[in-house]
Amino acid sequence: MTTLRTWQQEALRVISNGSKPDHLITATPGAGKTTFALALAARLLEEGSVRRVAVVVPTDSLREQWADAAGRLGLNLMPVSAPEDYEKPGYRGCVVTYAQLATGAGRELLRRTTRVPTLAVLDEIHHAGESRSWGDGLRYAVENAVMRVALTGTPWRRDNQSPIPFVMYDSDGQVLVDYAYEYGTAVADGVCRRIEFHAYDGEARWIDCGVVGQASLGAQLRDEDVSTVLDGVFHPEHAWMPVLLRQADDALTEIRQEIPDAGGLVVAERQWHAQQYAALLREISGTEPTVVVSDDPTAKEAIDRFRRSTSRWIIAVKMVSEGVDIPRLAVGVYASKTRTPLFFRQVVGRFVRTRPSEEFNARLYIPAVPALMEHALQIEQELRHQLDVETGGDGPDGERGSTHEQPLLPTRELVSATEAAFDRAILAGEEVSPTDLVAAQATARQLGIPTQYALNLLPLMRQQAPEAAPVHPPATEVVTPRHRQERMLRAEVETLARKYAFKAKLEPRQVNTELRRAGFPPRAKASISELRGMLNMLARWHGGQ
């Protein structure tokens, strides 16, 4: 077996010193949960405490990865793809998915293997709560195992609709963990990489029943409005995403000066988003991105090729989550509407894996939505607490508002989104304002340090000049230049005029004529107030008012 990390040895001792059959181990992504579980399996097999091992995983790709990892450590486990694989001669056990236990003969076949003493390893156990059939199938299949060890990357709260088998909860619905290895400890131990969260604000506009609506990402909004704003800024033809992708690509270029094979990941909301983002990045970077989607049978091979290559970008839709190990990822763009802490941490986990002799901060670009900001602050406060830095206050208490994806309201039609504007960065529990960032980058250039390390200089800068560099200087208001406002409004009027023309079965020139009759000048000569007037009138026409 490979040499174990300190946390893995401690977790093994916790399980060895206990007498109960069920254990829950949480370890931050990239910390080595697979190696820990396989070391436990090898020890129990050697002692004779168990004679077989059954590993249950959420995806087909993880089924193969677990079997490969076990084989490298001298433990032969069969990835199940046929009924005879559950007890195939020459193997000490098998790897099966939760879905395989939910229907058909899978649960019966795995249950039969537990006639002999069996260790059941339940990877990313929270997936057993995704449906009642998954949870029921798992419970029936491994309830006779002499020991069950559940693994997860982050704790979760009780789901009354889909309770998770073999997991204990406290009175607040939080899972009870036997051993936890959190992100902050992993960074302090050098097991995981530090990550900077760079949040960008922006504003979207829409029409709803003839009324123009608008809101910014950072505002406290109703959930349906948050969803609409995200739809607006994530739209590839609006201004927000192209600006953000260019910022991310510039950051990747900077990191690749020292780490030549550093790569970037965009987590996209929809497949058509991913294809359009690929076109934008092709234009921005001059290179061809890799696009992977869940219903592409070649997606796993594409991820493997990207892992081994030196290409710049991979864009994924519901593909790059648990178990996907691409240690060269250094820059990410979070363009998903999913706002649950579990999914957010899964994405963060793609960037924290380390390689020998590399020291740099990964960077994740996120929309400045309050829910995502809270998740980022909580992760970074875990790190700051571990490093014994003064926190200055408690972290967020639970989730605030709905965190699930919401579709665009049927009466709403998107019109535009502004360019992405840097709002703040989050590092080690500190919020870094635009003023802080500019000062840190200037200091880095003076010292001859790559600006990718600029935020690491902030603690030293504040110690040396606490009065000149307050902890939270007021952020300067981002003012959109007038010519950009006019250009954006002209585009909005053009978009809405075409939509109204289509709805009214008119030619676009006829709509323009009606606007001139209403007293408006040609769009190229219109002022900002006149363009807004056109937009409001078109919205009323479009809404039938």
Distance CA 185, CA 204 (A): 39
35-44, 202-211, 289-298, 328-337, range with the lowest pLDDT = 202-211
Distance CA 163, CA 168 (A): 10
Buried b (16+ CB within 10 A) or exposed e, 66-98: bbebbeeeebebbbbeeeeebbeeebbbbbbbb
Per-residue pLDDT band for 396 (boundaries 50, 70, 90) equals very low
- Per-residue pLDDT tens for 110-167? 999 999 999 999 998 988 877 788 889 999 999 999 999 999 876 665 555 567 889 8
**0.95 surpassed by pTM:** no
Torsion of CA 335, 339, 343, 345, to 10 degrees: 90
Distance CA 67, CA 473 (A): 52
> Residue 395 pLDDT > 90, yes or no?
no
- Per-residue pLDDT tens for 64-96? 889 998 998 889 999 999 999 999 999 999 999
- Per-residue pLDDT tens for 428-468? 666 777 777 778 777 777 766 667 667 766 666 766 654 44
pLDDT number for residue 282:
95
| Spatial contact of 27 and 18, defined as CB atoms under 8 Å apart | no
Identify the CA nearest to 338 among candidates 399, 276, 416. Answer: 399
Give the C-alpha distances (Å, rounded to integers) separating 48 from 17, 53, 73.
Answer: 17, 12, 18
Where is pLDDT greater, at 168 or 116?
116
CA 346 to centroid of chain Cα atoms? 6
Distance CA 360, CA 427 (A): 13
| Spatial contact of 198 and 425, defined as CB atoms under 8 Å apart | yes
pLDDT number for residue 387:
45
Which residues are bridge partners to 119 per DSSP? 53, 147
> Residue 392 pLDDT > 60, yes or no?
no
Distance CA 448, CA 468 (A): 22
* Class of the CATH domain delimited by 6-181: alpha beta
pLDDT number for residue 246:
93
Per-residue pLDDT band for 402 (boundaries 50, 70, 90) equals very low
Which among 280-294, 396-410, 446-460, 530-544 has the top mean pLDDT? 280-294
Q: Is 362 exposed, middle or buried (0-12, 13-18, 19+ CB in 10 A)?
A: buried
pLDDT number for residue 401:
34
pLDDT number for residue 201:
87
Give the C-alpha distances (Å, rounded to integers) separating 27 from 186, 346, 374.
Answer: 9, 12, 21
> Residue 229 pLDDT > 80, yes or no?
yes
Q: What is the DSSP string of 406-425?
A: -PPPTTEEEEEEPPPEEEEE
Question: Using the 8-state DSSP alphabet, how is residue 178 labeled?
Answer: S
> Residue 315 pLDDT > 60, yes or no?
yes
**Average pLDDT of the residues in 406-414:** 53
Residue 479 CB neighbours (<10 A): 9
pLDDT number for residue 415:
59
Q: What is the DSSP string of 458-509?
A: HHHHHHH-TTTS-SSPPPPP----HHHHHHHHHHHHHHHHHHHHHHHT--HH
Where is pLDDT greater, at 394 or 513?
513
pLDDT number for residue 161:
55
**Average pLDDT of the residues in 491-500:** 80
> How do the domains of the chain map onto residue ranges?
6-181, 194-432, 482-542
Where is pLDDT greater, at 476 or 301?
301
Q: Do domains 6-181 and 194-432 have the same CATH topology?
A: yes
> Residue 215 pLDDT > 50, yes or no?
yes
Mean residue pLDDT across the chain: 81
**Average pLDDT of the residues in 421-426:** 75
pLDDT number for residue 80:
94
pLDDT number for residue 116:
96
- Per-residue pLDDT tens for 255-276? 998 899 999 999 999 999 999 9
Distance CA 11, CA 37 (A): 10
> Residue 48 pLDDT > 80, yes or no?
yes
pLDDT number for residue 440:
78
**Average pLDDT of the residues in 175-198:** 83
| Spatial contact of 131 and 158, defined as CB atoms under 8 Å apart | no
| Spatial contact of 133 and 166, defined as CB atoms under 8 Å apart | no
| Spatial contact of 254 and 451, defined as CB atoms under 8 Å apart | yes
pLDDT number for residue 436:
78
Distance CA 353, CA 193 (A): 6
- Per-residue pLDDT tens for 328-372? 999 999 999 988 887 888 888 888 888 877 778 899 999 988 888
Domain 194-432: give its CATH architecture: 3-Layer(aba) Sandwich (3.40)
Distance CA 255, CA 362 (A): 9
Q: What is the DSSP string of 257-283?
A: TTSTT-EEEEEESSHHHHHHHHHHHHH
pLDDT number for residue 473:
43
Distance CA 134, CA 485 (A): 52
Distance CA 527, CA 440 (A): 39
| pLDDT above 70 as % of the chain | 81
Where is pLDDT greater, at 461 or 241?
241
